Amino acid sequence: MGTNDPRRLIPRTDRLLAHPELRRARGRLGDEVIRSIVQDIQDQARSGELAPEDVEPEILAAVSSRAATSLRPVLNATGVIVHTNLGRAPLSESARRALLTAAGYVDVEMDLPSGTRSRRGAGARQALMRTCPAAEDALAVNNGAAALLLATTALAGTGEVVVSRGELVEIGAGFRLPELIESTGARLREVGTTNRTHLSDYESAIGAQTGCLLKVHPSNFRISGFTSGVGVSELRSLADEHDVPLVVDLGSGLLAPDPVLPEEPDVASALVSGADVVIASGDKLLGGPQAGLLLGRAEVIARLARHPLARALRADKLALAALEATVSGEAPPVTAALHADPVRLRGRTEALAEAVGCAVVEHDGRVGGGGAPGVPLPGWAVRLPEGAARLLRTGSPAVLPRVHGGACLVDLRCIPEDEDERLADAVRAALAHQPLGTEGS
């Protein structure tokens, strides 16, 4: 490197690391992260992408904007309430505060008065049972698939799980329930056909190898037309006759009936109808953290809790704390979005449209996450040019709209009302950076 080479002007690493701003940043970022930022920006200068005098300002800007997590908050303007790609359910304020409490040492598995070990997650269990009195006991594991895995493993072992062909669904990211169940060593005994299953189909399949009967609520699709199925109460009679347990996987996390979703099954009704154990997800319509919930008869839940797999699948203290707070605290954002006041929702949408100079269009929201497939949630959206979608996604704050029919649609159903002004600012910024000739598209 010659004496006139501009790369000689690149600030030295030790001088940069001694900068007061970088020293203060060590309170929230590790040394390796800070060193990596410094090295990356120095390398840009060495390759000629950056002038040497810009190295220090670029490093200071990068460090000040860098967080310890790469996850970015997103305003969900899709109208899809339980959005899997956005982490499903946003937590309530009570649940968020519970996470902070549980971040330190807590009595998750300790009885403080006696100083002895206690049942793990007792508070979450009691909260679930108070909210769903039909359950004699409850157990939480780390997600819905884990709950199904535990139930079929503990109850069927290497025996047969009898299930209707029309209920062998594929869940997110290509995972299929048949493969999940068979991975434990259990064997599936499929009965009926895709569109029609009768009680006699179950009855003829039950034998000495039957471990349990399984009924699964189909997610993400509907079968209509020439169809028939067997209800939980009918299966209960058959299960009693042959002394086999009945497992019902609802998935959606609805604990009690909801008039907005009259056809969506709920945990309480399934238990009253005779299920031994009902499986649901904590981060769907329940509106809480990722968790697999198992509610049902005390002896069946105790059997599941004793199984060695329960240890591998157990929920951690953060999930248990957030779950208890979700059930015991105020209505979570998922519930608020599902029951949004249409008059207020339209008023907010019209206010945004007026603020940014765009039109309001009718737009149906969705439950999402496999809940209530095909059920529209009537509402409205602000219609923007399609090109605004990418600008919104990459802006600050990041906003995820829906792109449909050649337009970018901004639905406020899942936007907290105190974020309306920030959303308006984000939309104005996106429109201001639209390429020429696209403003009116």
User: 9 vs 223, which has greater pLDDT?
Assistant: 9
Mean pLDDT of 180-198: 90
pLDDT at 8: 82
Judge if 235 and 292 occupy the same domain.
yes
Where is the domain boundary, 315, 330, 345?
330
Domain contains 101: yes
Judge if 105 and 44 occupy the same domain.
no
Domain contains 68: no
User: 169 vs 347, which has greater pLDDT?
Assistant: 347
pLDDT at 438: 53
Q: Which residue has the tokens 């304020």?
A: 93
Would you say 245 and 155 are in contact if contact means Cβ atoms under 8 Å apart?
A: yes
Domain contains 211: yes
Query: Could you report the per-residue pLDDT of 250-287, keeping only the tens digit for each?
Result: 988 899 999 999 989 999 999 999 999 999 999 999 99
With bands split at pLDDT 50, 70 and 90, how would you rate the model's confidence at 312? very high
pLDDT at 251: 84
Judge if 266 and 154 occupy the same domain.
yes
Q: Is the pLDDT score of 226 beyond 70?
A: yes
Query: Could you report the per-residue pLDDT of 92-102, keeping only the tens digit for each?
Result: 999 999 999 99
Domain contains 437: no
Judge if 145 and 281 occupy the same domain.
yes
Domain contains 15: yes
Q: What is the mean pLDDT of the chain?
A: 93
Judge if 116 and 260 occupy the same domain.
yes
- Dist CA 136 CA 213 (whole Å): 20
pLDDT at 238: 96
Q: Which residues contact 99 (CB under 8 A, 6 or more apart)?
A: 91, 318, 321, 322
Q: Is the pLDDT score of 441 beyond 50?
A: no
Judge if 117 and 166 occupy the same domain.
yes
- Dist CA 75 CA 266 (whole Å): 29
For residue 206, give the CATH number of its domain.
3.40.640.10
Q: Is the pLDDT score of 3 beyond 70?
A: no
Domain contains 105: yes
Q: Is the pLDDT score of 372 beyond 90?
A: no
Judge if 292 and 384 occupy the same domain.
no
- Dist CA 40 CA 47 (whole Å): 11
Judge if 177 and 280 occupy the same domain.
yes
Q: Is the pLDDT score of 58 beyond 70?
A: yes
Q: Is the pLDDT score of 56 beyond 60?
A: yes
Judge if 59 and 102 occupy the same domain.
no
Judge if 127 and 207 occupy the same domain.
yes
Judge if 239 and 260 occupy the same domain.
yes
Judge if 205 and 242 occupy the same domain.
yes
Domain contains 441: no
pLDDT at 175: 76
Domain contains 69: no
In total, how many domains does the chain have? 3
Query: Could you report the per-residue pLDDT of 82-139, keeping only the tens digit for each?
Result: 999 999 999 999 999 999 999 999 999 999 999 999 999 999 999 999 999 999 999 9
Least confident of 136-140, 165-169, 394-398: 165-169
For residue 378, give the CATH number of its domain.
3.90.1150.180
Residue ranges making up the domain that contains 116: 92-330
Least confident of 131-145, 165-179, 223-237, 363-377: 165-179
Q: Which residue has the tokens 């042959």?
A: 242
Q: Which residues contact 296 (CB under 8 A, 6 or more apart)?
A: 135, 136, 137, 271, 275, 276, 277, 278
pLDDT at 440: 46
- Dist CA 308 CA 104 (whole Å): 27
